[in-house]
Amino acid sequence: MITLAVFGGSSVATPELIDALREDPELDVEVVLHGRSADKLRVVAAVCEGIAGTGVRVRATTDLEAALAGAHIVLNQIRAGGFRARLFDETFPREFGLPGEETMGPGGFANAWRTVPAVLDLARAVERIAPQAWVVNLTNPSSLVQLALHRATRLRVLGVCDSPAAMVEHIATLLHLPPHQIAVEYVGMHHFGWITHVHHGGRDRMADVLVQAAAIPWILAPPELVQAIGAVPHPYLNYVLVPRIMLERQRGQRPRAEALLELEETLMKEYRSYAAEGRSGFPEAAKQRHAVWYRKIIIPVIRALTVGPPGTHIVNFRNGAVVPWLPPDAVIEGCARVSREGPQPVGPRGPVPADVVAQIQRNSAYESLLVDAISERSFSSAWRAMSLNPLVRDAAEARALVECIWGGPH
């Protein structure tokens, strides 16, 4: 039996994790939900227990020792400060004429500043109680969180995100192929990656993809630019390539965090009713969270790390010597063969465009400096890191942004 401890287990998305687990007949798993709010945890756990079925057992606790005892896998999905802090991340950059987002730009900086210390506190407990467990990190900003974990602990950590899998699915659709019949070369960092080659039938089909760049729905940069670069950018790279377009879009939209706060309230009301009535089965309301990441990447990775079979996934791992033009301790996102021994990275074999290399190197340096600044809690180090953020335009703006974050939610 696999013991899966879940940090942030009181999330309204957690029932979708249980629903995904129970659909896999070969997984025999005990899920231990950990959360800080006993009341919220009790309600979410009751919903999860009503979903679980025979192959999944659920228990919940606010006690770290009890949550981690015997854990094989630790899934980290905490949200430090909740959606109200995310609202700050998404909105304060707009005052500076920059788009706001919880992983990119100054918003991602603010999220990391708040989140990394909270994750490190939990990680020290994992080191003490379950040092052999694999930590699967979902918490954003993922590569920054994972880099801090690698520097401050000896834990085995693997970062996951569903976005690259969704990119591969769409690229396969453009080629009129099922996703399992193509193999991509992917290089970058969390929310900062590029598909550089697409292989099928023994040849590179990248040219066939690029000629259809205008049909790739997430690309807001001119298709001619993407074709000139010769690689397909991650959707979040719109914040880097066309920040003014992203800002204009945000000005006409409600912040995502506001909608999530409202949805969380709605779902908790539904969950309380579900728990009070002792219902069973999956509550349809839970689907509104659209937590596709559990099925697309988390369950496949957990399965590969435990019962098998191994699988190739795009995940976040320590670089080592995989990408020679990045530092060994950088946390990169790329293809890896994941098994019980962990990820065996597969680095890019073909050439990577020079402008892609330059952008990734700058982002890597930014993330490294920011993790140092968080560790030191140093204003000057934070200013230095913010000056290298890909969305920030000059040193004066960088200082003003750090001053704003310094007084923001913690």
Q: What is the mean pLDDT of residues 128-141?
A: 98
Closest CA to 109 of 409, 407, 363, 402: 402
Do residues 226 and 366 share a domain? no
* 247, 113: one domain: no
Question: Which phi and psi (to 5°) does residue 401 adopt?
Answer: -65, -45
Phi, psi torsion values for 159, nearest 5 degrees: -100, 145
Q: Is 247 helix (H, G, I), strand (E, B) or coil?
A: helix
Q: What is the pLDDT of residue 370?
A: 98
Residue 188 falls inside a structural domain:
yes
Number of structural domains the chain divides into: 3
Name the pLDDT band for 396 (thresholds 50, 70, 90): very high
Mean pLDDT of 150-177: 98
Task: Please give the Cα distance from 28 to 310 (Å, whole number).
Answer: 17
Q: Are residues 112 and 189 in the same domain?
A: no
The pLDDT of residue 347 is 84
Segment 180-212, tens digit of pLDDT: 999 999 999 999 999 999 999 999 999 999 999
DSSP percent split of the chain into helix, strand, coil, nearest 5: 50, 20, 30
pLDDT tens column, 260-284: 999 999 999 999 999 999 999 999 8
Residue-wise pLDDT tens digits, 349-363: 999 999 999 999 999
* Shared domain check, 201 and 268: no
pLDDT 10s digits, 75-125: 999 999 999 999 999 999 999 999 999 999 999 999 999 999 999 999 999
247: domain CATH number is 3.90.110.10
Q: Is the pLDDT of residue 252 over 70?
A: yes
Give Cα separations from 198 to 191, 213, 227, 335 (angstroms). Answer: 19, 14, 14, 12
- Residue 314 and residue 378 in one domain: no
Mean of the per-residue pLDDT values for the chain? Answer: 96
HSE value, Cβ hemisphere, 13 Å, CA-based, for 302: 33
91 located within any domain: no
Would you state the pLDDT for residue 408? Answer: 67
CATH of the domain at 30: 3.40.50.720
Confidence at residue 410, expressed as pLDDT on a 0 to 100 scale: 56
Query: Is residue 94 included in any domain, yes or no?
Result: no
Burial annotation 96-121 (CB, 10 A radius, 16+ → b, else e): bebbbbbbbbbbbbbbbbbbbebbbe
Give the pLDDT band of residue 409 (cuts 50, 70, 90): low
The confidence score (pLDDT) of residue 27 equals 87
d(CA 372, CA 354): 27
Q: How much of the chain exceeds pLDDT 70, in percent?
A: 99
In this prediction, residue 173 carries a pLDDT of: 97
| Same domain assignment for residues 381 and 286 | no
Provide the residue type at 240 as one letter. Answer: V
Please indicate, yes or no, whether residues 207 and 70 belong to a single structural domain of this protein. no
Whole-number pLDDT of residue 112: 98
pLDDT in tens, 298-354: 999 999 999 999 999 999 999 999 999 999 999 999 999 999 999 999 888 999 999
DSSP string of 16-34, one letter each residue: HHHHHHHT-TT--EEEEEE
What mean pLDDT do residues 60-88 have?
Answer: 97
My answer on whether 378 and 366 are in the same domain is yes
Mean pLDDT across 21-41: 94
- The reply to whether 203 and 266 lie within a common domain is no
**235 lies in the same domain as 269:** no
Residues 178 and 127 occupy one common structural domain: no
Print the domain residue range for 273: 2-84+106-159+261-291
**Residue 283: what pLDDT?**
92
